[in-house]
Amino acid sequence: MTERPDPSVRRFDAAFRESFRDLVLWRRDVRRFRRDPIDPALIGSLLELASHAPSVGHCQPWRFVLVESAQCREAVRSSFVQANAKALECYDGERRAQYARLKLEGLEDAPVHLAVFADEATEAGSGLGRQTMPQTLQYSVVAAIQTLWLAARAEGLGLGWISILEPQLLCRTLDVPETWTLIAYLCIGWPVEEHLDPELERHHWQERVGAGRLIFTR
């Protein structure tokens, strides 16, 4: 086997890797957005890039729904308010007060709302790789979301993932096929502020766990 690098293969240098590390570190779950619009062509190009994420059996199960109507957005906001009130009841004392102070979404100001689904009935990929681990279909959609998140941050855009929602209700509200599973509801917009530390760390909800404590050997 030759050790000579193939000139047709894309290589990445140390400077790129350093910037990529910064991109990962500066990605945040954003909840405070400016209301300025985003060029639809930019959103389109980000979704196109996200579609190059890995997917089990190359089945590309991601379905992106841009939620634009005021009626749909209001139903989503209302679902958040209800689910968040229920969630608050799970905490007591100081932890409850702390939860109540957290800002967990930017639904009102974000110019772009994106619901991301997995099409569980897709025939693409012919089931390859999904016999023993069928959840890989949903996992593929998450890989696309993380790709989108990093690509958005590289453009200076913020993205926030809201999971405090009733997924069944959202599927009905957005009138998607019954075979689609909601994976994520995302807010996208120009961020009001930027941070290197996660919001939940900054507000003492949860600190970072050292990576060394998460690695094991067998």
Q: Which of residues 128-157 bind its own copies (CB under 8 A)?
A: 128-133, 135-136, 138-139, 142-143, 145-147, 149-151, 153-156
C-alpha span between 202 and 199 (Å, rounded): 5
| Site for its own copies contains 29 (CB under 8 A) | yes
What binding mask, one character per residue, do residues 151-190 give for its own copies by CB under 8 A, x or -? x-xxxx----x-xxxxx------xxx-----xxx------
Please provide the size of the chain in residues.
218
| Site for its own copies contains 112 (CB under 8 A) | no
Check residue 29 and report its DSSP letter: B
C-alpha span between 98 and 112 (Å, rounded): 28
Supply 187's token pair: 């807010």
Among 7, 9, 70, 101, binds its own copies (CB under 8 A): 9
The Cα-based distances of 6 to 15, 16, 110, 194 in angstroms read 21, 19, 45, 40
Least separation, in Å, of the C-beta of 51 and its own copies? 4
| Residue labelled with tokens 């967990």 | 104
| Site for its own copies contains 41 (CB under 8 A) | no
Q: Quick one: 77 or 104, whose CB is closer to its own copies? A: 104
| Site for its own copies contains 91 (CB under 8 A) | yes
